[in-house]
A and B are shown apart, each in its own frame.
Chain A
Amino acid sequence: MFDLRAVSRHYPVSEGGLARRALLRAVESVDLAIHRGETLAVVGESGCGKSTLARLLLRLEPPTQGIIRYEGEDLWQSDRAAVRRFRRQVQMVFQDPYASLNPRMRVSSIVGEGMAIHRLATGVARRDRVEELLRQVGLSPEVATGYPHQFSGGQRQRIGIARALAVDPTVLVADEPVSALDVSVQAQILNLLQDLKRDRGLTYVFISHDLRVVEYMADRVAVMYLGRVVELSPAAALYEEPLHPYARALLAAVPAADPARRSVSRPLEGDVPSPLDPPSGCAFHPRCSEMMPRCRREQPELTHRARDRSVACHLYDLCGA
């Protein structure tokens, strides 16, 4: 569906004085393919570039370098009709169900707006379709006449999902869709997303910092650190045995909800370095327990290492795999 080749997104930022211009490398040389029908999760800590990647996939901003193809076509070279088709086929679900719904619009208009823009349905047909969508996301059709503030966070997130589904998309890009919700409600939304995917054959790009949620949702996982994908693996394999030292540390840091399995590993030291001034060589080397001299100098490339698994780490050069 999507094919990203050496995609970077840089932002110029002024730092301190007038003359000092720095470059924030939010996303750096990312190669990534997203297949039809899969759930690809993008995980990482704040500042790793996962949300910028989502914005690039949604064509909300152009890449500074590289090419993003959707169904074979360069997103930024395609004609208006193709862009319009893209805008319908690729929809998004936002993190904050409070900020992403217009408080002055009725739910019926929020959900129906996309159908109006893409001229998919009008009048009674649109109203029926809105009610049908609300039912599909587990809300009663009466919700249509209400305003967003009348609903709880979970209900609003359902409204946001109904809005995304209204134009019959093929891809949903969800950026932290359950982070703002209580855990008991979070489970309802995750189940709903799984059901919708199965029923409609959707492709998901699931952006999250929550590794437990990702394990539940994802078929494949891209682990990002300081703008780069450092590991790309099937979810089951990643959780079984993470290859990249950062992926390993990240998974080890998730507290297991089991007092019999108390973590014994030493936590990762230090903070995530500033993306304005990333470390030389492998960006992870200052925090890495396996650091070798060459990690300071050479940037490891994301390389295919095992069945369906790619890692950007010099450790695996040694094994000659």
Chain B
Amino acid sequence: MAEELLRLERLRVVFPFPRGELAGVRDVGLVLQGGEAVGVVGESGCGKSLTALAILGLVPPPGRIAAGEVRLGGRVVNRLSPAELRSIRGREVGMVFQEPMTSLNPVFTVGYQLAEAITAHRRLSAAEVRRRCIELLGEVGVPAPEARLRAYPGQLSGGLRQRVMIAISIACGPRLLVADEPTTALDVTIQAQIMALLARLRRERGMALLLISHDLGLVAQNVDRVLVMYAGYVVEESSTHALFDSPLHPYTRGLMESIPGVKGGGHEHRLRAIPGIVPHPSQVPEGCPFRERCSEAVGECALAVPALEEKRHQHRARCIRVVTNV
């Protein structure tokens, strides 16, 4: 087995709230090996983006990691100083965000921002920096890279901007790339290009990928293992194949049945919508966080937060209604 790259343990991220604290991430555990591709899926407010930010030590204040650990390459990220954190970002782990227009600076050229990333951890001559910039833009499939160095982000299409963002994030050769909804703002044919690019980079560089997405299809196509999140908890975790073959948690099943074309196409059948809405972090019920929307909930579900247990071989779910059969 490859070495362990990233380990999250009982991660809890909170924000101050008029009445006490609000937890955006309640209990997230995750182990990621070198070269592995893991997906995190869930709807808005489930805590998936906050989890990604916590990995890079980027939880926006006044939010903070209240409990648990983020281990990256043997170091505990949430105990590092800002200077130590900077030495990790980009070199150990790169990050790609949803909207490249807001993560690139509109008043600096592509070349400037790429050079900044390249020289963040190394001193290089100007000529060498330029050569690396062109090489990186070529690697991420930007046509005519020399000409693009002088372009401003606003002059590029959404797809090209995201390629530039990816070039920046891999500039220092990280072993892990965290991609938070990297294609959500893009058209579907451009999405396919970006995902193909990420797959190629992963192959060529032996890079691990943590893909955060709300799109079950994207996850099914691109990762080996999936974590499903709901209301700050990991509610299910398994190989991608097992998750789509036999989802265990009622939320995962509901999610799959509410997407047209996932379970049967056409409009002959009704979509099985999950009743209610994703609860606000201040309104997550006691006990199982999903029980108020769950068709299988029983009285016992209100008593305690279920543990994330191995229900099948290497297939874990946080639900007392799922029979264990390992």
Contacts and interface: CB of A to CB of B under 8 A. Distances in A.
A265 to B, nearest CB: 9
A267 B260 contact: no
Interface residues of A, number: 44
Provide the main secondary structure of the chain A interface.
Answer: helix
B223 to A, nearest CB: 9
A257 B217 contact: yes
A250 interface: yes
Contact of A184 (B191, B220, B258): B258
A194 B267 contact: yes
Contacts of A191: 270-271, 273
Contact of B261 (A212, A252, A263): A212
Of B190, B218, B255, which is in contact with the most chain A CB atoms at under 10 Å from its CB? B190
A216 B254 contact: no
Contact of A185 (B220, B256, B277): B277
A201 B178 CA distance: 48
Given A183-B255, A184-B255, A269-B193, A250 B261 contact: no
Contacts of A258: 220, 244, 262
B266 A184 contact: no
A252 B192 CA distance: 9
B221 A272 contact: no
B274 interface: yes
A271 B220 contact: no
A319 to B, nearest CB: 26
Contact of A256 (B189, B191, B193, B217): B217
Interface string B239-259: 011001000000000111111
Interface in B172-192: 187-192
Contact of A187 (B187, B193, B273): B273
Contact residue range for chain B? 35 or more
A194 B262 CA distance: 18
A181 to B, nearest CB: 9
B260 A254 contact: no
Interface in A109-128: none
A235 B265 CA distance: 11
A185 B271 CA distance: 11
Nearest to A194: B267
B203 interface: no
A161 B214 CA distance: 25
Nearest to B217: A255
Contacts of B274: 184, 187
Contacts of A217: 260, 267
A188 B260 CA distance: 12
A209 B259 contact: no
B93 interface: no
Interface string B210-232: 00001111101110000000000
Contact of B221 (A209, A211, A250, A263): A263
A136 interface: no
Contacts of A250: 188-189
A256 B267 contact: no
A190 B221 contact: no
B270 A45 contact: no
A40 B273 CA distance: 23
A267 B194 CA distance: 9
Nearest to A219: B267
Contacts of B240: 259
Given A184-B43, A187-B273, A254-B188, A239 B217 contact: no
Interface string B126-165: 0000000000000000000000000000000101100000
Contact of A253 (B191, B267, B275): B191
Contacts of A182: 43-44, 214, 277-278
Given A267-B189, A272-B189, 18 more contacts: A155-B277, A184-B274, A185-B273, A187-B258, A187-B273, A194-B270, A215-B265, A216-B260, A216-B267, A217-B267, A253-B191, A255-B191, A256-B217, A257-B217, A260-B241, A263-B221, A267-B196, A269-B193
Interface of B: 43-44, 157, 159-160, 187-193, 195-196, 214-218, 220-222, 240-241, 244, 254-262, 265-267, 270-275, 277-278, 293
6 contacts: A45-B189, A152-B277, A212-B259, A253-B191, A257-B244, A268-B192
Top 6 closest pairs, chain A to chain B, by CB: A216-B260, A187-B258, A255-B217, A187-B273, A267-B192, A45-B187
